[in-house]
Amino acid sequence: MGNVVNFAHRGSSKVCPENTMAAFRKALEQGATGIETDVQLTKDGHMVLIHDETLGRTTDGTGWVKDHTLNELKELDAGSWFHPDFRGERIPHLDELLELVKDTGTIVNLELKNGAVPYEGLEEKVIARVKDDGLSDRVVISSFNHYSLLLCKRLAPEIRTGILYMEGLYEPWAYADTLHADALHAYHVAVLPEFVAAARAAGKAYHPFTVNDPNEMLRLLQAGVDGIITDYPDRLAELLAKEK
């Protein structure tokens, strides 16, 4: 269990506002060995880290991410909604996260948020930046848009991809082969020990999401998953330490 990747979901998102530099830094302090985040494009083509396609839930702005420039988004408060102590936190640019982890061994899971909004060129921009920073071997690109993942593999076969899916996908490891994907990012209830064994035999890693209950974490660790995506990286770090 020592090599299981502890992916902090949107950073340490239960003690800091999600997808902010505060959340990413806190996750590393808590023992995360991976960071999971969401990538979208601004109106002027910059890569920013925010989950929702609209701004109302996690900032003091309104409207769609795609309709604002980077400078406009950088004026928004992305912390006060969570707690007044985080007033002034900003929506990060992808560069800020990559700079934070560049000199560490941290794995970065970049979820492309291109389902509701088909961001043209998102795949190319993300891949170019990852390559420029020399992080191809430390990035996993995931998405619920599997057409996008296939494009990523065609553009950069060396960068790992993970298919995001909910319950009920039949033999997902076989389906992943059709996309040349490397990992299965499954909703955690869809992960059984026999599935993990079959996936491993097919050369596919399991990274279930979003796992916050320690008992469920332990079940998945015992099933042999390769990583866990969690809002509580400290809980998972503690479990992993005990299981060593």
pLDDT tens digit sequence for 166-195:
999 999 999 999 999 999 999 999 999 999
Give the CA distances from residue 116 to residues 56, 109, 122, 144, 208, in Å, rounded to whole numbers and listed in that order.
16, 20, 13, 10, 22
pLDDT tens digit sequence for 206-233:
999 999 999 999 999 999 999 999 999 9
Residue 180 catalytic? no
pLDDT tens digit sequence for 121-134:
999 999 999 999 99
Q: Are 175 and 163 in contact (CB under 8 A)?
A: yes
How much is the mean pLDDT over the chain?
97
pLDDT tens digit sequence for 72-100:
999 999 999 999 999 999 999 999 999 99
Residue 2: predicted pLDDT:
57
**In sequence order, what are the residues at sequence separation of 6 or more whose Cβ sits closer than 8 angstroms to the Cβ of residue 24?**
8, 11, 12, 35, 37, 92, 97, 100
Average pLDDT of the segment spanning 2-29: 96
Catalytic, out of 9, 185, 188, 207: 9
Residue 243: predicted pLDDT:
81
Residue 46 catalytic? no
pLDDT tens digit sequence for 21-46:
999 999 999 999 999 999 999 999 99
Beta-strand pair 227-230/5-9: parallel
Residue 150: predicted pLDDT:
98
Domains of the chain and CATH, by start: 5-52+93-243 (3.20.20.190)
Q: Could you write out the DSSP letters of every residue in 18-53?
A: TTSHHHHHHHHHTT-SEEEEEEEE-TTS-EEE-SSS
**DSSP letter assigned to residue 173:** H
Average pLDDT of the segment spanning 197-208: 98
- pLDDT band, residue 6 (cuts 50/70/90): very high
Q: Above 90 in pLDDT, residue 244?
A: no
Q: Are 90 and 20 in contact (CB under 8 A)?
A: yes
Residue 237: predicted pLDDT:
98
Three-state secondary-structure class, residue 241: helix
Cα Rg for the chain, rounded, in angstroms?
17
**In sequence order, what are the residues at sequence separation of 6 or more whose Cβ sits closer than 8 angstroms to the Cβ of residue 61?**
55, 68, 73, 76
